[in-house]
Amino acid sequence: MVRIAHISDSHLGNTLFQLVERKEDVRKCLRKAVRMAMRQSPDILVHTGDLFDNPLPSMEDLNFAMELFKSVQDKVEVFLVHGNHDIPFGYHHIQSPITSLETAGVVKSTGKSDYKLHEVDIDGKKTEIHLISWTRERSFQRKLNDIIPETNPAFLFAHHIPVPKERLPIHFNYYGCGHAHSFWLDEEYDIGRPGSTCYVNWNKEIGGTKKLIVIDSDKQGNEYTTEQINDIREFKFPQAQITGMGPDEVNSYLKKILEKLSPKKDGSIIIVRVNGTIDSETENGLDRVKILQHAESKLNSLFVHIEPNWECYGPRDIRLNQPLNIETSIRDYVEQTEEKGLDELMDFLGRIMGV
């Protein structure tokens, strides 16, 4: 049996909202993920790309990665692929910081090119690990069609798999990828993506979770274990609905929403997504500075952010003469907001209502 621990997208050097504190957080998150993986005592540890946020990482980050992988070197075989953030523009794999790690002998990767086959000996049995780094889509497709593994089990890891799962060749026991920062595991097609180890792009990651995937593969097939990886810093994503409120109402409402939160630790990051439809009077009357300062001091947070997701319906308050009559209401709305295209709207409405 082969046991593989799969993590991805740690983005060392990423600073969310340009907060320097995040640099250390990101490192800690990766260390935590690796420790969680090691607790499962895997034969192989794979990181599917975007180890660094930038192909020119800081010395601190490079040293950190070097030391981290060196510390587990004796217990596990570490494989890395180059992600799109790890290599400079133009697919210059030789300029990737991961190549430095490989040269130092702490990890195994794809070297100077975008593909490499590694053979590992597990319990006296040869196992092939195929690595594909970030590359052109066509080149990826060609590789996928060309390579045929000679051992069973065999595994393929890439930063991104731009092929529909139904069209993947069947001779690999597991396909691992990264790139999109959300967790995904398809046990039918044996394809997995652990998600990022920390919050990098919260807007896309807000709905998903981040997990460690552990694959136990043998002749009978794969067995999966997953473990939640939480960011070291506490994140909260409250939502607010401000439709139809006036400026004062919104200000006190948002303050109230923020006050109600109770972060367990100091220094949390709080992102309020504010939805709804308001008029521009309200939008202009929003006292963002006061709300943010108030919340930061009350909650002892590192950072509070108001994400404007509201729609502003224009400068005027609209008066509907017959709120239950679709036609007159649309007419009122369009006339009072001075929007264009009333006739066309009416034609279209008539058509869909079948009049």
Partner 1 sequence: MLETLELKNFKVFTDQLIEFHNGSLAIVGPNGSGKTTILEAIEFALFKRITRKDKTVRRIEELIKHGRTKGKVKLTFTAPINQRTYTVVRKIYPGETKAELFVKGDHKPIESTPKKVDEEIERVLGMDRHAFSALTYVRQGEIDSLSRSTPSKRRSNLYNMMGLGIYDNTGSRAKKEFRSLKKELTSIKEAKINLEKIRTRLPSETELKEAELALQKIQTDSPSLDIDPIKILLDKVVLSVKDIESELNKPEISIRPEEITHEMKVSKQLQRILKTIPDIAEVQLRPHIRHEARSIFKEIFGDKYSDLVIDDDYDISLYDLKGNKVSLIAASGGEDVCVNFALRVGMNTALQKHSIASPPPGLLILDEPGAGLDAYRRRWLPDAVQGLDSIQQVIVVTHMEELKQSVDRVITLIPQGKGRQPLLEISD
Distance of CA 337 to the CA centre of its chain: 39
- Please report whether residue 252 would count as binding partner 1 according to CB under 8 A: no
What gap in Å lies between CA 171 and CA 56, rounded to an integer?
36
Q: Which is nearer to partner 1, 235 or 333 (CB)?
A: 333
- Please report whether residue 320 would count as binding partner 1 according to CB under 8 A: yes
Chosen residue from 225, 228, 243, 309 binding partner 1 by CB under 8 A? 243
Phi, psi of 28 (to 5 degrees): -60, -40
Cβ pair 248, 285 in contact under 8 A: yes
Chosen residue from 263, 277, 287, 296 binding partner 1 by CB under 8 A? 277
Sole window of 181-189, 203-211, 220-228, 243-251 interacting with partner 1 (rule: CB under 8 A) = 243-251
Chosen residue from 60, 325, 335, 350 binding partner 1 by CB under 8 A? 325
**For the chain, what is the HEC assignment?**
CEEEEEEECCCECCCHHHCCHHHHHHHHHHHHHHHHHHHCCCCEEEECCCCECCCCCCHHHHHHHHHHHHHCCCCCEEEECCCCCCCCCCCCHHHCHHHHHHHCCCCECCCCCCEEEEEEEECCEEEEEEEECCCCHHHHHHHHHHCCCCCCCEEEEECCCCCCHHHCCCCCCEEECCCCCCCEEECCCCEEECCECCCCCHHHHCCCCCEEEEEEEECCEEEEEEEECCCCCCEECCEEECCCCCHHHHHHHHHHHHHHCCCCCCCCEEEEEEECEECHHHHHHCCHHHHHHHHHHHHCCCEEEEEECCEECCCCCCCCCCCCCHHHHHHHHHHHHCCCCHHHHHHHHHHHHCC
Positions 280 through 319 that interact with partner 1 (CB under 8 A): 311, 313, 318-319
Taking the complex as a whole, how short is the minimal distance between the CB of residue 328 and partner 1, in angstroms? Answer: 8
Q: Taking Cα atoms as reference points, which of 96, 79, 98 lies closest to residue 7?
A: 79
Taking the complex as a whole, how short is the minimal distance between the CB of residue 291 and partner 1, in angstroms? Answer: 18
Taking the complex as a whole, how short is the minimal distance between the CB of residue 330 and partner 1, in angstroms? Answer: 6
- Please report whether residue 341 would count as binding partner 1 according to CB under 8 A: yes
Taking the complex as a whole, how short is the minimal distance between the CB of residue 261 and partner 1, in angstroms? Answer: 18
Taking the complex as a whole, how short is the minimal distance between the CB of residue 184 and partner 1, in angstroms? Answer: 27
Q: Taking Cα atoms as reference points, which of 16, 26, 71, 40 lies closest to residue 197?
A: 26
Q: Which is nearer to partner 1, 64 or 313 (CB)?
A: 313
Chosen residue from 216, 227, 234, 249 binding partner 1 by CB under 8 A? 249
- Please report whether residue 349 would count as binding partner 1 according to CB under 8 A: yes
Sole window of 24-32, 155-163, 183-191, 322-330 interacting with partner 1 (rule: CB under 8 A) = 322-330
- Please report whether residue 95 would count as binding partner 1 according to CB under 8 A: no
- Please report whether residue 323 would count as binding partner 1 according to CB under 8 A: yes
Chosen residue from 147, 168, 185, 330 binding partner 1 by CB under 8 A? 330
Binding track, positions 141-180, relative to partner 1; x by CB under 8 A: ----------------------------------------
Q: Kindly state the number of chain residues that form the binding site for partner 1, as judged by CB under 8 A.
A: 32
- Please report whether residue 334 would count as binding partner 1 according to CB under 8 A: yes
Taking the complex as a whole, how short is the minimal distance between the CB of residue 260 and partner 1, in angstroms? Answer: 13
Phi-psi region of 149 (alpha: psi -120 to 50; beta: other; left: phi over 0): beta
Q: Which is nearer to partner 1, 105 or 341 (CB)?
A: 341
Taking the complex as a whole, how short is the minimal distance between the CB of residue 238 and partner 1, in angstroms? Answer: 15
Q: Give the footprint of partner 1 on this chain (CB under 8 A).
A: 243-245, 249, 276-277, 311, 313, 318-326, 328-330, 333-334, 339, 341, 344-345, 347-349, 351-353
